[in-house]
Amino acid sequence: MVNRPSARADAALDKVRAVAAASGAPEPMLVHCDLMSFKSVREAGLKLQSELAASGLDALCNNAGIMGFGDIATEDGCDIQMQTNHLSHFLLTGLCMQLLQQAADVRGEARVVNHSSATRKMNEPEMSNALDAKYLGKNGGNLGGTSHKMFKGANFQRYQQTKLANVIFTYALHDKLQASGSKIKVLVAHPGVAPTDLAVGTIHAGGMNDLKGMPTCIVNQIFKSTMHSKEDATMGILRCCCDPKANSGEFYGPVGKKEHLTNKHDSSEYKGKAELKKEEALADKAARDALWAASEASTGEQFTL
């Protein structure tokens, strides 16, 4: 597990340790990492390189994220959401490439799994869905200001860009690995909507102030009507990590009714089976090239493929 130090991380590690002990699996390990700091990510990468030098790394699942935070710069000058949700994942993946290739050479494959969202597309013209490289640069604090309504305004425009970036990064890395003849698979999932702590963090950060005045019973009913269970929401990343039939470059998650539209948010993706989705049209070659160049520039990481 790669996580910033917290009581939640410790509790999760205890649960994983119990499952590992009961099943005879290897002892789990916690590597401290703050995705809001490239320095911390590089330290975590060095730790993984040391600890996994003998075995390699079979799967890297880039799952961590935040949603709806204000227009804040990290210590590295990047937008707090883009750095947490994409740029640090890009950096960590680059630092783990040799470990992944080592596992693929020995055991026939390895996997990189990214986690997107139904909010990779929002409703136009209120928001623009196409990738804009300015969100990937060192422009934190100068990207539209801070908004306070759920799925409205600059906070969620920046979040949308991060979740689209997860898909584009998947396709771009897939293209490069396929060209190099690597056996590393790269896949992406989206969970639909589930009752996790993601929205709790948004509310605490002030990104959903419009919900604060509502009675709790109404808020709970709104969420209940749109969500499926946390267990159902995990099925996309589980398929990407473990399904032997899953192929590199594929996208799994609840399938919506507007798969063919690039300018509409699709609430029918909020729940359902994790199935193979159509390729995301917003993640075309131009978007892949732009994201790769901007991500390398911001992180300083050149992939060795």
Active-site residues, by number, are 159
**Whether the bond into 254 is cis, omega within 30 of 0:** no
Instruction: Classify burial at 212, counting beta carbons within 10 Å of its beta carbon; exposed 0-12, middle 13-18, buried 19 or more.
Output: exposed
The structure tokens listed for 286 are 């131009």
| DSSP state, residue 10 | H
In Å, how far are 13, 23, 299 from 28, measured between CA atoms?
A: 7, 12, 28
Nearest CA to 148 out of 227, 213, 104, 203 is that of 203
The structure tokens listed for 47 are 């730790």
| Dihedrals phi, psi of 253, to nearest 5 degrees | 160, 180
- CB-based contacts of 245: which residues, under 8 Å, 6+ apart? none
- Asked if 148 and 209 touch (Cβ cutoff 8 Å), the reply is yes
Backbone Cα Rg of the chain: 19
